Amino acid sequence: MKLCITGVGLWARGLSGWNEFLARSPNDFAGIDAAFSPPSPEAIPARERRRAPLSVRLAVEVAHQSCRMAGVDKALVASVFTSAMGDTDITDYLCRELAGPTKMLSPTKFHNSVHNAPSGYWSISAGNRSPSSYAGDFHATVPVALLEAATLCTTEDRPVLLVAYDIANAPPFADICPIRESFAVAFVLARSAPRTGWRIDVAVVDGPADWPQAHSPYLRALAASNPAAYCLPLLEALAAERPAELHWPLSRWCHLAMSLKPSDSVTRDARQA
C-alpha cells in the first residue's frame, strides 16, 4: 500500500509537539530531564477538560496537532485509535470500587472508562462524524493500528488519522505490561500529498521480525517504556530526512514492513510553521 504521511502530532516527557522533536533531534535529544507535563488541549471546553482523564487529553492533543500540520478538514478525516492498555488509572479505580463494600462508581469515571472515550472526545471537539475504529494488540498495538489505518486509507481513498497513546501505570497493571512513561503520537495518512508528504509503502510480510531500534539513547529508553512509543524509529527517520526500512512484528509468523522516502520540504515547512 503506497501512501503519504502528511501530518505528525506528539506528546511525551520534554516533547510537546513535532516542532520540538525536530529542534531537539540534531542534538540527539540531550538535556531532556524535565518531568512529564500533561497537555491541556484547547479543543476541549474548559469544563470538560478538567474532568477528562490523561489518556483523553493526550489523544485529543496529538490528534489536533497532526491534523493542523496536514491541513486536512478535521470534520471529514476518518480515524483509528489504539492503545496497549487503555486507561489503567480508571480501570484500577473501577476494580477497587467494585471489590469494596459500597460499590459506588463515579458516573464521570465510568463514562470515561470505555475504550473509545478518546475517539469520542476527539469527534466532538472536531465536529467529526466520519468513520472511526479502535485497534489494539498489546505490544503489537502500533503495527496493527498502522495496518488498519493504511488499509482504511487505501480502500476508502480518504485521509485517515491514526492516534496511539498509553499512560504510565502502577501495580497491578505494571506487573502485566509495565508502562513507565506516558506517551502519545498521531499521524495523518493520505493516498497522496497535495503539497508535501513523506512517501511510505506498507506491506504485511511473512516471517518474524525484531523490533526497530532508534539511534538516540533517549528515544530507545522512551520506546522501551511505552508500547505506543514503538513508532519512535519512524519519527527519527522522518526528522532525519532520510530513507528508511522499518519492520514491526505482528506475530510469530508475519510482520509489518514499511519503506520510507521523506520529502525534504516537509521538515523544512514544519520548522517554519
pLDDT at 196: 65
- Per-residue pLDDT, averaged over 33-54, amounts to 90
* CATH no. of 2-272: 3.40.47.10
Instruction: Give me the phi and psi of 7, to 5 degrees please.
Output: -155, 150
> Can you tell me the distance from the alpha carbon of 185 to that of 43, in angstroms, rounded to the nearest whole number?
17
pLDDT at 194: 63
From first CA to last CA, the distance across the chain in angstroms is 29
Tell me what the pLDDT averaged over the chain comes to. 91
> Can you tell me the distance from the alpha carbon of 39 to that of 41, in angstroms, rounded to the nearest whole number?
6
DSSP secondary structure letter of residue 180: -
**Are 270 and 195 in contact, with CB atoms under 8 Å apart?**
no
pLDDT at 33: 72
Q: Going by DSSP bridges, is the β-strand pair 160-166/244-249 parallel, antiparallel, or unpaired?
A: unpaired
Own/partner contacts of 236-243, CB < 8 Å, gap of 24 or more, are 236/25, 237/262, 238/5, 238/8, 238/198, 238/262, 238/266, 238/267, 239/21, 239/22, 239/25, 239/267, 240/25, 241/267
- Per-residue pLDDT, averaged over 83-112, amounts to 92
Give me the percent of the chain exceeding a pLDDT of 70.
Answer: 95
pLDDT at 264: 52
**Residue 270 binned pLDDT confidence (cut-offs 50, 70, 90):** very low
> Can you tell me the distance from the alpha carbon of 36 to that of 16, in angstroms, rounded to the nearest whole number?
10
**Residue 265 binned pLDDT confidence (cut-offs 50, 70, 90):** very low
Does pLDDT of 111 surpass 50? Answer: yes
- Per-residue pLDDT, averaged over 91-105, amounts to 92
Answer positive or negative: Cα dihedral of 104, 109, 115, 121. Answer: positive
- Per-residue pLDDT, averaged over 102-106, amounts to 90
**Residue 195 binned pLDDT confidence (cut-offs 50, 70, 90):** low
Does pLDDT of 83 surpass 90? Answer: yes
- Per-residue pLDDT, averaged over 45-54, amounts to 91
Which residue did the predictor score with more confidence, 220 or 194? 220
**Are 143 and 209 in contact, with CB atoms under 8 Å apart?**
no
Spatial neighbors of 27 by CB under 8 A, at least 6 apart, are none
> Can you tell me the distance from the alpha carbon of 184 to that of 3, in angstroms, rounded to the nearest whole number?
22
- Tens of pLDDT, residue by residue over 146-161, are 999 999 999 999 999 9
**Residue 272 binned pLDDT confidence (cut-offs 50, 70, 90):** very low
Q: Which amino acid is at 66?
A: S
- Per-residue pLDDT, averaged over 210-227, amounts to 93
Q: What is the CA radius of gyration of the chain?
A: 18
- Per-residue pLDDT, averaged over 12-27, amounts to 91
Q: Which amino acid is at 225?
A: S
> Can you tell me the distance from the alpha carbon of 89 to that of 56, in angstroms, rounded to the nearest whole number?
12
